[in-house]
Amino acid sequence: MSTTFTINRRGILTGYSDPGPEIIIPEGVTAIGDRAFKNETSLQKIVFPASLERICTAAFRGCAELKEIVFSTGLRELDGSVFRASGLETVRLPEGLSKIGPNVFAECTGLEEITLPASLTAVGSDCFLGCEGLKRLTVLGKPSLKPGMFAGCYALDFVDTPCLSPAKLPKGSVKNAAVVSFVQRALNGESLPHAAVYSDYIRKQRKSLYSLAVQSDALLQFLIVNTMLSPQDVHALLDLAGTNVPVKAALLDYQHKNGGPIDPAAELEKEFAKSERIAVYMEKHGTLPVSELKKIWSWKKREDGTLCITSYKGSDSVVTVPDHIGQTPVTAVEKTFYDGNRSHTAIITSVTLPEGLTEIGPYTFSGCDSLQEITIPKSVRKIGGNAFSRSGLRHIVVLESVQEIGAYAFAICRGLKTIVLPKSLCMIGRDICYKSPAAVICAPAGSYAENYAKNNQIAYKLLKNTGDS
């Protein structure tokens, strides 16, 4: 049966019937209306006519099987989210296209290659957000790039894309991944397209790269080889290095060679003595001194006077969140390990949250793709939206105390298999398992969680009690 279309007097295609795997839009259509083909899972290929000038908001969003598009040279504009979460793998946008709206290719996790034409001048924010498989980007012109455009594009090597200098990349994992890729290749003697731009960026922004330098041997070596560190830089890096003896030794050797007379062995002995003093304090008080905690954590005061941890600045892969800062209890975490804040959170494998914590806020562990283990205390009442999205968790147990889970809490967790939810839950936001294909909700019979899984067509199994896992 052939597809029939609804086209208004202005030439805008607003609807269709009887879609098949391949659709040819008829000549004369000037625009495809908002959400015209949204979530059409049968669609695999579409051919656009020469008359088409604009594709409106979310027109092909969620077309998971859409693999092939034949564009025409008449196309001038793509509105927001046009191909979001579709199945596209390779895209060559046509010459003549001048504007792309926000989120156009966001969450196209299978997208591997895209070509942007010379005519393109404007690209919306978050255009390629979450395109985890994007490996090759060809830019033929000089489009205006927006912050966050490539957030979550972990496979893309930005060093090979000359128009994307590090200053134009979004903060967090993407920017720092590009820096690490550059220094690794530079130290190997490669001739890179804009080495001077990256070197200048690293020199000027080195303070913001301290934490990364402590973790990345290549970046630290690049800073040392190119004599980019001042005595103040060395002092700050020594503080961040903690018990990392090789890093401290390299810094002290650098200081000895470039910062005047110094005995590296004596300085290292001082660092050991400092570590011993901190250990004694911890044994007595059960926590680090506030001066040391400031080097690892950032926090803010909540309305009730307690504290919310807002970022992690350390370099350990196994992390325990403190229950107090000084005398003040910690009751919440929010964006603490979010990869948009700190790229090095990608190394975190295990986190223990303290008893007394009542809220895991939005985006707390979002993007922690190495995270395998999380210990949630019985005191937690609320888990915020996107709290564990894009994380590496395979199993998670939410304890009986939790009453609320926000939207997309476990979204885009490719390896997530089981989510154990308690009977105490009375509110769950939308799409908590969005694009987590293997996830199964385990919930008590008759619980809110069971009904949520049924109503949202999420795979589930029943538990005899909340202790089952």
Residue 20 contacts residue 42 (beta carbons within 8 Å): yes
Q: Which long-range contacts (CB under 8 A, 24 or more apart) does 286-295 make?
A: 287/322, 287/323, 287/324, 288/322, 290/325, 290/326, 293/322, 293/325, 295/239, 295/240
Match domain 4-156 to its CATH number in 3.90.950.20, 3.30.70.330, 3.80.10.10, 3.40.50.2000: 3.80.10.10
Residue 29 contacts residue 14 (beta carbons within 8 Å): no
pLDDT tens, residue by residue, 164-220: 667 666 565 667 777 888 898 899 998 876 788 889 999 999 988 888 888 888 999
Give pLDDT, residue 435.
82
pLDDT tens, per residue, the chain with 469 residues: 466 889 999 999 998 887 789 999 999 999 999 999 999 988 999 999 999 999 999 999 999 899 999 998 899 999 999 999 999 999 999 999 999 999 999 989 889 999 999 999 999 888 988 787 888 888 888 887 664 677 767 677 776 666 666 766 656 566 777 788 889 889 999 887 678 888 999 999 998 888 888 888 899 999 999 999 998 899 889 888 877 788 888 998 898 888 655 566 666 666 666 665 655 656 665 676 777 788 788 999 999 999 999 988 877 788 999 999 988 999 999 988 875 444 455 678 899 999 999 999 999 998 888 889 999 999 999 999 999 998 889 999 999 999 999 999 999 888 899 999 999 999 999 999 988 888 999 999 999 999 999 999 999 999 875 444 4
DSSP 409-442: TTTT-TT--EEE--TT--EE-TTTTTT-TT-EEE
- Give me 193's structure tokens: 């397209």
Give pLDDT, residue 333.
96
Topology, domain 291-463: 3.80.10
| Same topology between domain 4-156 and domain 291-463 | yes
Whole-angstrom Cα distance, residue 314 to residue 242?
A: 9
Whole-angstrom Cα distance, residue 270 to residue 415?
A: 45
Give pLDDT, residue 214.
86
- Cα maximum dimension of the chain: 85
Q: Is the pTM of this model over 0.75?
A: no
**HEC profile of 90-111:** EEECCCCCCEECCCCCCCCCCC
Query: Structural domain boundaries of the chain?
Result: 4-156, 291-463
Q: Hunting for tokens 């018990």 — which residue is that?
A: 243
Give pLDDT, residue 341.
43
Whole-angstrom Cα distance, residue 206 to residue 436?
A: 37
